[in-house]
Amino acid sequence: MRVAHPRWHIQDFRRMLDKGNLCHLGFRGQRFTWCDRRPGLETVSRRLDRVCANRNLNYRYSNTTITHFTTPYSNHSILVIQWDSGGCNQAIEGRFSFGLKLNGYRLKNASRLWRKHSYSGGGSSRQ
């Protein structure tokens, strides 16, 4: 059974995007980033995960690409962000939705924690 979110959730999210001047960066790869993994026609897939940036970041890293990859370890896709700023190219695997710094401590730990969680068999893919 599908549970609809209250309208104010969507309105708050849109206000947050507008207030932060955030825009969606697009993607390559799989269209959907989540799948319930039911067989056949019962499969439900959604595009839940997205990457947004403000205009300054988008301008500074204008050649940034986001690629979605499926994984057998989770029902969410891996989003790989390829930042490119004048030859300073670095790939970042993302899984967590909190304030990440481009070259900061939290970004490195998020990627490390994601890999540890996903490949060690820790945690459940269904929550």
Q: What is the pLDDT of residues 9-57, one digit of tens each?
A: 778 878 888 888 888 888 998 899 888 888 889 989 888 888 888 888 8
The answer to whether residue 45 is domain-embedded is yes
Q: Is residue 14 part of a domain?
A: no
Question: Quick one: average pLDDT of 59-72?
Answer: 84
Would 1 be classed as within a structural domain? no
Specify if 87 maps to a domain: yes
Say if 82 falls within a structural domain: yes
CB atoms < 10 A from the CB of 52, how many?
A: 14
Nearest to 20 by CA among 55, 51, 49, 64: 55
| Per-residue confidence (pLDDT) for residue 16, from 0 to 100 | 81
Sheet of 65-69, strands arranged across: 28-29, 65-69, 78-85, 88-94
Q: Does residue 83 lie in a domain region? A: yes
- Whether residue 126 lies inside any domain: the answer is no
Domain housing 61? 25-119
* Domain presence at residue 124: no
Query: Distance between CA atoms of 98 and 104, rounded to whole angstroms?
Result: 13
